[in-house]
Chain A
């Protein structure tokens, strides 16, 4: 992960402003795709915040996302809470959950961390289902709001922009530099005086915080919340694949990963509904064989070559 510069911030700001006009141009199907894209851009960017510099692959996205959806669902249908208060609560609970997971997984590295996060997300999904079936009654959770896709799209755009801005600030801070050092060699990081545990927990907490916010914002779209749906592990894999496809070396990487992936996914899903999961496997192969550093890595490579020639 490189230190982000002002030029990059300006480009992203322009993209955010342009993206804000999408609901004026599109509706129905294309607006729905826009909502999906914004949702995954926000999730993948917050994933990159932590996993980009540290190279720790987290499969816990669904846990945070699910917490957001579930809190909004339970709060609004069982306690008549307002959407906004439940959104705030989700963010706090998502952040706290991530901090706990971070503290528990500090000593794990590599493949153990991947498996632990996946297992934990699954455990939370089952736990929440069990609690709902046994204690909250299986009445189902209804989220009834006046929001349409257009509103959800804008809220997600604001969230994605906030994630990016936070990442941009961090990448220029001592914390961001510390994460690059941790990603390079954790032993060296500790020997130059970095509290590696603290740095990782802080970043992972922000991932959980934003993951839950996205889950909460999406909840009104479904109207009816079912734990197995909001905690679906497929979401965690989607986030990782899109982030890696774009390239986790840059904060804007997810943008260039999410857009093509979702376009292809939706097209295949519409035309060959039973083969859509193939896209996931193919994307994995493409990443491993052709784009080890994602589109971002390829773009950087081409740029370097162009500079070398001129």
Chain B
């Protein structure tokens, strides 16, 4: 990977929580229109990696840059405005707002700022894209889990991110929902989006990712196409050694 073409670049990033090293000397690049999978057993540091890219945590060491600009010393709101959007492993919606308002929230303060009628129309468009427009005026509490996930994705898309971070977006879905979910991410891929995808669902990784980065105990243990990494000895050992994967 030629790093000058990288949209997102992670270099020697480490995160320590007290004595615990959650992420250790991670490096990888993501090129434009590329879908990169980050996989690894539970507790291997994937979410922590995403949290550092989105600015929720500052790295203890190393640098993260977006299109050549350093972002790892900035606040989440600044990084969001630079064009990084994310979903959360456990869905985070605003229950006191309607579905539409939740999505408008994503459209108003991002790097393209909309307001009023324009923001609402745009939010409807995005909801349409994830198949949720009919539920625009519903209460969040009345939604099923996958619908909540779709609304959260719509909120993120409404910010028109240049890089999209999805943290286990498919986790917790039943088989039918999973199909819908994979289709939706396929659609994102076809749009040519740049995506970092943290996933456990192997079928999804095989069919969606251009490349995979494998983490174990905070460190990168393999990188390559899904087929390459999934047949890698060390990767197999990391997964089999950890039942919870």
Contacts and interface: CB of A to CB of B under 8 A. Distances in A.
Would you call the interface of chain A mostly helix, strand, loop, or mixed?
helix
Interface stretch (A34-42, A65-73, A188-196, A273-281): A188-196
A183 interface: yes
Contacts of A309: none
Given A180-B97, A187-B56, A192 B92 contact: no
A107 interface: no
A184 interface: yes
Contacts of B4: none
Interface residues of A, number: 18
Interface string B101-141: 00011101111000100000000000000000000000000
Contacts of A178: 108-109
A203 to B, nearest CB: 16
Interface residues of B, number: 26
B44 interface: no
A189 B102 CA distance: 11
Contacts of A185: 92, 94
Given A178-B109, A180-B97, A194 B92 contact: no
Given A174-B115, A177-B105, A187-B56, A193 B110 contact: yes
A194 B108 CA distance: 9
B208 to A, nearest CB: 23
A194 B94 contact: no
Contacts of B75: 190
Given A177-B108, A178-B109, A185-B92, A191 B97 contact: no
A174 B110 CA distance: 12
A121 B122 CA distance: 46
Interface stretch (B11-19, B76-84, B222-230): B76-84
Interface of B: 54-56, 75-77, 80-81, 85-86, 92-97, 104-106, 108-111, 115, 155, 159
18 contacts: A174-B109, A178-B109, A180-B96, A181-B94, A184-B94, A185-B94, A187-B56, A187-B76, A188-B94, A188-B105, A190-B55, A190-B76, A191-B54, A192-B105, A192-B159, A193-B81, A193-B111, A193-B159
Q: Give the 3 A-B CB pairs with smallest separation, nearest first.
A: A184-B94, A193-B109, A193-B80
